[in-house]
Structure 1
Amino acid sequence: MKRTKYGVMLLASVLAFGAVTMNPVEAKVSPASTVASDVKQAKTIVIKGSDAMQFDLKEIKVKAGQKVKLTLTHSGKLAKAAMGHNWVLLKPGVDIAAFGSKAAAARETEYIPKSEEANIIAHTKLVGGGESDTIEFTAPAKGTYTFICSFPGHYALMKGSFIVE
C-alpha cells in the first residue's frame, strides 16, 4: 500500500508541474502580435446611402495599413441619374466645396473629376436605388480623413469622418 501512496503522490506532482509549466506559456500574448494581426485582418464596412441624401454612418474607424473592404449600398429606390450615390475618400486638406463643384461637372466620369484624382484615396462607382458596389483598399497613415458622395450637391449632407488609428 505504501508503494501505491507514493505512486499517486508522484503522479499528482507530475500533473501539477505540467499544469504550472504549460499554462503561463499558453496564456502569453504579445501586444505587438495583436496589433499586427489587427492590421492583417481586413476591416469589412457596409455603408448605406438613401433617397434622403444621407449616409447611415458618419464615422468609420480603421487601423493604419489595414486592408479595408467597403460596400456602398443604395437603400433607396430612385435611379442613378436622379439620386446616384458614391463613396469618395479624400486626402487631407482637400477643399470639399471646390472638389464638389468640379465633381458636379464630371458627369461622364460618374462625378469623379479627372483633375482631382490625385486628391482621392479610394472611391466606389456611382450606384442607384437597390444597387451596391464593393471596393478594397489599404487604410492610409494615421489621421482623420473626410468621405463624401460626389453626386452634384450631395457632399453638403453626405459626408463623414474616416478615422485611421
Structure 2
Amino acid sequence: MKATSLLAAIVLAGVSLHAAAADNCTVRIKANDAMQYDIKTATVSASCPTVTIELTHTGKMPVAAMGHNVVVSQTVLYDAIARDGLKAGAAAGYLMKNDSRVIGATAMIGGGQNAKATFPGSRLKPGGDYAFYCTFPGHATLMRGKLVVVK
C-alpha cells in the first residue's frame, strides 16, 4: 500500500511539474558584456495567448559599445534579419522597422538596463523551428538560442 501511494505521489508531482513548464508564457534572458546569453534554449507553450520576452543586461558597458536585444524568428531567417539589421543601423536598434519576418523583439539595451517585449502566442506553432538572437553587429553568431514551442 505504501509503495502504491508513493508511486502515485511521484506521478502526480511529475504531471504538475510538466503542466507548469507547459504553461510558461514568459522567457527571461540575461545578457552580459562577454556577448553571452545565460540560456541556450527556452520553452513556451503553444497555448499562451501572449508570449513575453524579458531581457536583463547584467553588464556595465553602454548600448553603443555592447548593446543587446532579443529577436525571435524562424531559425532559417535569423541570418538575413541580422544582416538587414546592420543596414538599419544603430538608430533603428539594428532591426529593420516593421520587419514581417520578426515574430517579436525587445529594444536594444546597454549594461544595467532591462527590456520587455510581447507578441501573440499564435505566431508560434508547436514543433516549429524558432531562434532567439541579438542583432547588435557581430553578436548573432554567438548570442543565439533555440525557442521550443510545446503543446
Question: Among the aligned pairs, what percent are the same residue?
Answer: 36
- The question of 1:141 aligning with 2:109 is answered no
More helix by share: 1
CA distance in 1, matches of 2:21, 2:37: 26
User: 2:96 corresponds to which residue?
Assistant: 113
> Structure 2 unaligned runs (5+)?
1-14
TM-score (norm 2): 0.76
Deviations 1:74-109 (A, max 9, x none): 010000000000000013531x33322211121221
Larger Rg: 1
Partner in structure 2 of residue 52 of structure 1: 34
Task: Look up the SS of the partner of 1:93 in the other structure.
Answer: helix
Q: 1:105-131 deviations in whole A, cap 9, x for unaligned?
A: 2122111113x7111000000110000
Deviation at 1:56, TM superposition (A): 0.4
Does the aligned pair in 2 maintain the 1:65–1:141 contact within 8 Å? Answer: no
Change (3 A) 1:113 1:42: same
Q: CA deviation at 1:38?
A: 8.0
How many residue pairs get matched? 129
Q: What's 2:138 paired with? A: 153
Q: Tell me the distance in 2 between the aligned counterparts of 1:61 and 1:46.
A: 11
Q: Structure 1 unaligned runs (5+)? A: 1-30
Matches of 1:58 and 1:42, distance apart in 2: 16
Q: 2:45 aligns with which of 55, 63, 86?
A: 63
CA separation of 1:136/1:100 partners in 2, compared to 1, >3 Å: closer, same or farther? closer
> Structure 2 matches for 1:68-79, cutoff 5 A?
68-79=51-62
Q: Is the 8 A contact 1:86 1:127 kept in 2?
A: yes
Query: What root-mean-square deviation, in Å, do the aligned CA atoms of Structure 1 and Structure 2 show?
Result: 2.3
The verdict on how the C-alpha distance between 1:62 and 1:104 changes in structure 2, with shifts beyond 3 A counting, is: same
* Counterparts of 2:143 and 2:21, CA distance in 1: 29
Q: Residue 163 of structure 1 corresponds to which residue in structure 2? A: 148
Contact 1:88 1:150 in 2 (8 A): yes
Displaced runs of 4 or more, over 4 A: none
